[in-house]
Amino acid sequence: MSFIEIQDVSFTYPNGFVAVKNISASIEKGEKLAIIGQNGAGKTTTVKMLNGLLKPTYGTITIDGQNMKGYTTAQIAKRLGYVFQNPDDQIFQSDVFSEIAYGLKKQGMTDDDIAERVRRAAQQAGIEGYLDENPYNLPYSTRKFVTIACVLAMEVEVVILDEPTAGQDYVGMQQIAKIINHLQEKNITVITITHDMEFVVKNFDRVIVMTNKRIAADKDKREIFWDFDVIEEANIKQPYISELAHLLRVEERILSIDEFVDSLLEMKAKERVTS
């Protein structure tokens, strides 16, 4: 049995709106998984069921073999951290230190341990210079790193990042990649929801495509981005470089600039031989 098992799960909001229909997936420890698909496809509802914010209307989710129904919210919070799409849905303390420390205090840690964890998490998130600031005085993109630090401080087994690259600049993108690498080294499962295909290609291996409340495909990135039926059905797009390679009829499934340059140089060399 996998670390997380989602078995035939559906979710209907109290107003009758069906957000997710009959989805199943298994997620292992240490996996790097991206969930992609259009706005409204059911991605955020799905991950909110993983962290217990929503409970499946039908079906079951197990973590480490135990049905999530048996976990309290506090128990889930120790194992699984969720970084909201909009940091303002998450932030409520008046300084960054207290914001990051909040979850740790709830666990009854000593002040010294808390300070150490907060410092480490803030450093990983690249916000160690802002600990005394009011989060609301910080730009949106920095507030996002505050919420990431909150989850890092909890030292959970699964980190869920909802649209982490939205509004991030070049430097912010690299910081997020660094954080994901760091989590990967610790064998922590990283699940992201994103619209940024370059981000997927650089940082994730497995891709789940959601469309119209269901899972349309669940496979390796090199499979997904050449499944043109799924791309069309889910209204997603190939990464820029893959799309260009495809347009130029390059045979290999190109995902990066380096791969593309290698195969172009090879193409050119072959022509030199044949001509």
Partner 1 sequence: MELIRVNNLDYMYPINDGEKALKNVSLSIREGKLYAVIGKNGTGKTTLCNVLRGFIPHFHKGSLEGEVVVEGKDIRHWTMSELAKNIGFIFQNPFTQISGVKDTVFGEIAYGLENLGVEVPEIKKRVKQVIQLLNIEELADKNPYELSGGQKQRVAFAAVIVMDPDILVIDEPTSQLDPKGTRDIFDMIKWMKEQGKTIILVEHKLELIAEHADYLFVMNDGRIITEGNVEDVLSNPALIDYEAGLPQYARLGIELNKRSSDFGQIPIHRSQAEAEIKKWLGIHVNQGGSGS
Cβ-Cβ contacts under 8 Å for 102 (sequence gap 6 or more): 93, 150
Using CB under 8 A, which of 74, 244, 252, 266 touches partner 1? 244
Token pair belonging to 157: 């087994």
Using CB under 8 A, which of 5, 157, 163, 218 touches partner 1? 163
Q: Hey, what amino acid is at 98?
A: S
Candidates 7, 41, 232, 250; CA nearest to 224 is 232
Q: Hey, what amino acid is at 118?
A: V
Looking up tokens 């420390």, which residue turns up? 101
Helices in 95-169 by DSSP H: which ranges? 96-106, 111-124, 140-153
Asked if 98 touches partner 1 (CB under 8 A), the answer is no
DSSP label of 62: E
Asked if 142 touches partner 1 (CB under 8 A), the answer is yes
Contact 125, 146 (CB under 8 A): yes
Asked if 271 touches partner 1 (CB under 8 A), the answer is yes
Using CB under 8 A, which of 106, 237, 252, 266 touches partner 1? 237
Asked if 275 touches partner 1 (CB under 8 A), the answer is yes
Asked if 263 touches partner 1 (CB under 8 A), the answer is no
Cβ-Cβ contacts under 8 Å for 74 (sequence gap 6 or more): 106, 107
11 vs 260 by CB, closer to partner 1: 260
* Nearest distance, CB of residue 74 and partner 1, angstroms: 28
* Nearest distance, CB of residue 216 and partner 1, angstroms: 14
Region near partner 1 per CB under 8 A, out of 93-101, 109-117, 168-176, 202-210 = 168-176
- Which of positions 187-216 make contact with partner 1 (CB under 8 A)? 195, 197-198
Token pair belonging to 80: 């699984």
| Segments of the chain assigned E as strands | 4-12, 18-27, 32-36, 58-63, 66-67, 80-83, 158-162, 189-193, 206-211, 214-220
* Nearest distance, CB of residue 177 and partner 1, angstroms: 13
Residues interacting with partner 1, by CB under 8 A?
37-40, 44, 85-86, 88, 137, 139-142, 163, 166-172, 195, 197-198, 235-237, 239-241, 243-244, 247-248, 257-258, 260-261, 264-265, 267-268, 271-272, 275
